[in-house]
Structure 1
Amino acid sequence: MKHKFDFSTTHNQFYIVDKEADYDTGADSFWTDEAHISRMPLGYGVVGVGTECYGPVRGELTVLSEANTEYDLSNYNHIVEGNLELNSGILQITSCPNNDIELELNMTPGHYAIRVYSSILKCG
């Protein structure tokens, strides 16, 4: 099932979160040097997604029952993977810094693999 999103965010980031998680994305231990390079900091109940610049973010979230093994790498500038523990059963995509809810899905609680495919990584 695909869910499209289109919103504005700042600070070159947005978040995929467990609605009930208590997390701090402003901590130095979250956006480490490694997280900036990978464009994906991980915390308990939160996955950060690094964008190229401030402003619009367009994409889609696809929930799969198994890993996608058929994709064309030439379509993307950057691919990164991480994990999210979803205890509440409610997944949200939120903007930065206001944490506005841009997408909310009811899902089965559990551990999820997250793969972010990025394209058109340029400002302007």
Structure 2
Amino acid sequence: MKKLDFYTSHHQFYIVDENHFSPDNGDLWTDRAFLERMPVSDEIIGISTASYGPIKGSFQFFNSPQALDDTNNFDHIVDGCLKVNSEKIQILDCPDLNVIYEVSVNNGDYCVRLYSSNLNIQDEDEGGDFHRIEIWPIENPFNRKVIKQFNPQQ
């Protein structure tokens, strides 16, 4: 497991196929994608954060599908699908697109599961939310599946 601790802005960061990411992704952040906290395009997955700055989390790659963790420990859980053609998956900050972390993989389709917690932070500039990312290869690609929807009123 790789611990993540980095700075990003605009309440977002990205998980991408190394050679196929374009910063011109105007249609990526739809109203539904904002609500479900994960915009998805073939080679791009956006991650919506509560923080506008410091991000903490973890990243783990698996060779097979993972069982769902205890949903009570997280505010939001969502799966997305990422197509990889470059043999590398990267995590990029926003807006500078610095590579925070990268992992070499086989080309193909991957499930990206995001577990988010502490989304009701009091000071977005100080951070406090946490994002656990799990990735594994899949045979049947899909768009996005919300497993647990965050409700800010709770």
By the TM > 0.5 criterion, same fold?
A: yes
Q: State percent identity of aligned pairs.
A: 37
Instruction: Give the conservation status (yes or no) of the 8 Å contact 2:18–2:90.
Output: yes
Question: Hey, what's the Cα distance between the residues in 2 that align with 1:25 and 1:91?
Answer: 19
Question: Hey, what's the Cα distance between the residues in 1 that align with 2:74 and 2:94?
Answer: 23
How far residue 53 of structure 1 moved from its aligned partner, in angstroms, is: 2.5
Where does the alignment leave 5 or more consecutive residues of structure 1 unmatched? none
Question: Hey, what's the Cα distance between the residues in 2 that align with 1:77 and 1:50?
Answer: 13
Runs of 4 or more above 3 Å deviation: none
Query: CA 1:70 to 1:79, structure 2 compared with 1: closer, same or farther past 3 Å?
Result: closer
Query: CA 1:58 to 1:25, structure 2 compared with 1: closer, same or farther past 3 Å?
Result: farther
Where does the alignment leave 5 or more consecutive residues of structure 2 unmatched? 124-154
* Aligned equivalent of 1:13: 12
Please point out which of 112, 115, 119 is paired with 1:114.
112
Instruction: Give the conservation status (yes or no) of the 8 Å contact 1:3–1:61.
Output: yes
- Alignment: residue pair count: 122
Question: Hey, what's the Cα distance between the residues in 1 that align with 2:108 and 2:41?
Answer: 15
Query: CA 1:22 to 1:120, structure 2 compared with 1: closer, same or farther past 3 Å?
Result: closer
| Secondary structure in 2 matching 1:61 | strand
TM-score normalised by the chain length of structure 1: 0.92
